[in-house]
Structure 1
Amino acid sequence: MTEYQPPGGPSGDPSGDPPGGPSGGPPDGPSGDSSGGPFGGPDSAYDAVVLAGGAARRLGGADKPGVRVGGRALLDRVLAACAGARTTVVVAGPRPTARPVVWAREEPPGGGPLAALAAGLRHTTADRVVLLSADLPFLDHRTVRGLLAPLRHGTADGVLLTDSDGRDQPLVAAYRTGSLRRELAVLTGRHGELTGLPLRRLTGSLDLTRISDPVASFDCDTWDDIATARARIREHGHVLDEWISAVKDELGIDLDVDTGVLLDLARDAAHGVARPAAPLTTFLVGYAAARAGGDREAVAEAARKAAALALRWADEETPDATSEASGATPEASDATPEASGATPEAPDTRPDA
């Protein structure tokens, strides 16, 4: 039986061990502090709970969180979107992930979304929590920030996305942690346990703000959904951003690179020097930026210097502006006096002799 237990200890005693890692220290997570990660300061601090323990019956019982879209597991794509969380809790059996997380499990396993949410909340301490399913291929950190922002200024209990048909998606949402704990306690008192209860029993009691986003709310319940997601990221308008995001995630890079600057540099190097110069130059720019601190400004400055060099290199391939103005050609300017028919002056008769 799964009952809701507030954080602090098994019985909700504030003097109990704090939530977090096995040592009882600070919660484990990508940042391990209250800075809110790479996307904000203390005012933007939040925790994330990702539900990844479903049976995936419509996928034939496949390991849905591990299904790859764009070379990355669905779970890893969701974890990248909430990388700014102070603590990220994944409710499922442990597995390798691209980012560090805290693992939790409802009891018994498979007890449903409310039981899983309660299990995840026991490891959170922030005033706001992002609740996500593990099958959102198009979720990104901009959407997560968009969900959190209204909670800083309004009075609603939560903010959720709606899909293309206008249906609520309570597992793509941000909530006030206190509101969730309050309603979970009410439901536990009313039903004795949370196992098997639908999520709408909780969300129906909350004051919610809704944001329409058919793309970010798209989830993968069937193999047709997986095929749709895989096809979309390969469309011309998306493939580059998807590829860069996949590479950064694979290499553990959080830097928000200005891809336009790097593409312009690659074009200038390819056209002004030689085609193989493009990838080699961008590699050297990355290396130089890393040595200079590795932030966005370091990349921009290294790219600016390399682009200026490529333009100077290309300029040397054009005729000299002075020669063009006088009508002379490079061949004429390189001609010797003998070739032009002039007689060289004797050394002692030259003006500068």
Structure 2
Amino acid sequence: MDFDAVILSGGRASRLGGVPKSGLLHDGAPLLEHALHAARGAAAVAVVGPDPGTLPEGVLRCREEPAFAGPAAAVAAGLSALEGYSGRDPRHPGAASLTLVLAVDMPRAGAAVEALLEAASAAPPGDGLMAVSSDGRRQPLVGLYSTAALQRCVADARQGGGLENASVFALLARLELREVSVPKGSTDDVDTWDDASALGVTGPPEGRGFDGRHRDSHGPGGRPGVPALNSTLEANGEKPG
């Protein structure tokens, strides 16, 4: 499956007291590491948001304009970074035909991404696929969208009211999206400390955010793609603690 990925790594996290969501821990690994694992197999990945520290080789980092301008602006920034990325396999230049959009605050999103990819393999995705939870809630930040359709949405938004503080539902309003039922709990997100507790998510150790010094809880196997962060650090002569 030919796809790129845009990972939205968090905004102000005001209901978490400003603690960056990307550095929260689940099963001993930062949420950003879980999101990167969920996006494994992507031809290119852009992480949008505050500086997360060390990232795997080849993973892009960018920021929405202005900072904290919301998820629609973050999607636009990620698309722009991917479009200009020059580190692709020369056999597959240019942006992929599909773009996975994934929020960082869903520790179990890997199962939802698998469902989206399976659905896209089973039938042409058209404008795209959006995850729907077991209780019927649509989740646009777990979606696999036509890159060209997303780019048109961004261009239209810029010509209209703009992207700043716009909702993702508004950004995608003109697309004909197929809803995909995903496993229970796979789109549960962390907005408050109560959410975190329910999902087994904890704060990062004091003084340590997403710096790659937490174990890779996923193990070997799975789709090829973005390398595990710890493997990248070891290759650079650093040791996970």
TM-score (ref. length: structure 1): 0.51
Q: C-alpha separation between the residues in 1 aligned to 2:5 and 2:142?
A: 11
Which of 255, 259, 277 is the matching residue for 2:221? Answer: 255
Query: In angstroms, what is the RMSD of aligned CA positions?
Result: 2.1
- Aligned counterpart, 1:307: none
Please state whether the residue corresponding to 1:93 is helix, strand or coil: coil
Q: Work out whether 1:230 is the aligned partner of 2:196.
A: no
What is the correspondence of 1:90-101 to structure 2 with a 5 Å cutoff?
A: 90-97=47-54, 99-100=56-57, 101=59
Residue 123 of structure 1: SS of its match in structure 2?
helix
**1:65 Cα deviation after fit:** 1.2
Q: Secondary structure at the match of 1:204?
A: coil
Residue of structure 2 in register with 1:59 after alignment: 16
Aligned position for 2:163: 194
Alpha-carbon contact 1:76-1:97 (below 8 Å) kept: no
Structure 1 unaligned regions, length at least 5: 1-43, 232-245, 257-353
**Mapped partners of 1:102, 1:112: distance in 2:** 19
Which of 55, 74, 83 aligns to 2:40? It is 83
1:96: how far off? 3.1
| Structure 1 pair 254–75 and aligned structure 2 pair: CA distance change class (3 A) | same
1:165 offset after TM fit, Å?
3.0
Q: 1:148 aligns with which of 114, 117, 122?
A: 117
Structure with more relative contact order (C-alpha pairs < 8 Å, separation 6 or more): 2
Moved over 6 A (4+): none
Aligned-residue sequence identity (percent) comes to 36
TM-score by length of structure 2 reads 0.74
Native 8 Å contact 1:151 1:176 kept in 2: no
* Letter of the structure 1 residue corresponding to residue 108 of structure 2: F
Is contact 2:10–2:103 with CA below 8 Å preserved after alignment? no
Distance 1:54 1:93 in 2: 8
Q: State the structure with more CA Rg.
A: 1
In 2, Cα distance between equivalents of 1:203 and 1:177: 12
Partner of residue 184 from structure 1, selected from 151, 154, 169: 154
One-letter identity of the residue aligned with 1:161: A
CA distance in 1, matches of 2:167, 2:34: 26
Residue pairs, 1:306-325, within 5 angstroms: none
Q: Which moved more, 1:101-110 or 1:153-162?
A: 153-162
Distance 1:68 1:166, change over 3 A: same
Distance in structure 2 (CA, Å) of the matches to 1:188 and 1:129: 19
Q: Which moved more, 1:152-161 or 1:215-224?
A: 152-161
CA distance in 2, matches of 1:82, 1:98: 14
Structure 2 Cα separation of the partners of residues 67 and 97 of structure 1:
15
Mapped to 2, the partners of 1:220 and 1:67 lie a distance apart of: 10
| Match status 1:127 vs 2:97 | yes
Report how far residue 71 of structure 1 moved: 0.6
What aligned pairs does 1:1-353 form with structure 2 within 5 A after superposition? Answer: 44-97=1-54, 99-100=56-57, 101-124=59-82, 125-140=95-110, 143-152=112-121, 153-191=123-161, 193-213=162-182, 214-230=184-200, 249=216, 254-256=220-222
Judging by fraction of residues, say which structure has more helix.
1
What is the alpha-carbon distance in structure 1 between the residues aligned to residue 31 and residue 130 of structure 2?
Answer: 20
CA distance in 1, matches of 2:18, 2:179: 32
In the alignment, is the contact (CA less than 8 A) between 2:102 and 2:143 conserved in 1? yes
Partner letter of residue 200 of structure 2?
R
Alpha-carbon distance change, 102 to 220 in structure 1, aligned in 2, over 3 angstroms: same
Amino acid at match of 1:135: D
CA distance in 1, matches of 2:70, 2:109: 23
Q: Tell me the distance in 1 between the aligned counterparts of 2:23 and 2:191.
A: 13
- Asked if structure 2 preserves the Cα contact closer than 8 Å seen for 1:106 and 1:115, the reply is yes
Task: Return closer, same or farther for 1:216/1:109 CA change in 2, 3 Å cut-off.
Answer: same
Instruction: Tell me, in whole angstroms, the C-alpha distance in 2 between the residues paired with 1:178 and 1:160.
Output: 16
In structure 2, relative to structure 1, the CA distance for the partners of 1:97 and 1:159 (3 Å cut) is: farther
Tell me how far apart the structure 2 counterparts of residues 99 and 77 of structure 1 sit (CA, whole Å): 13
Unmatched 5+ residue regions in structure 2?
Answer: 83-94, 202-213, 223-241
- Give, as a single letter, the amino acid of the residue that structure 1 aligns with 2:132: T
Q: Do the aligned residues in 2 keep the contact of 1:48 with 1:82 (CA within 8 Å)? A: yes
Letter in 2 for 1:116: A
**C-alpha separation in 1, matches of 2:54 and 2:26:** 15
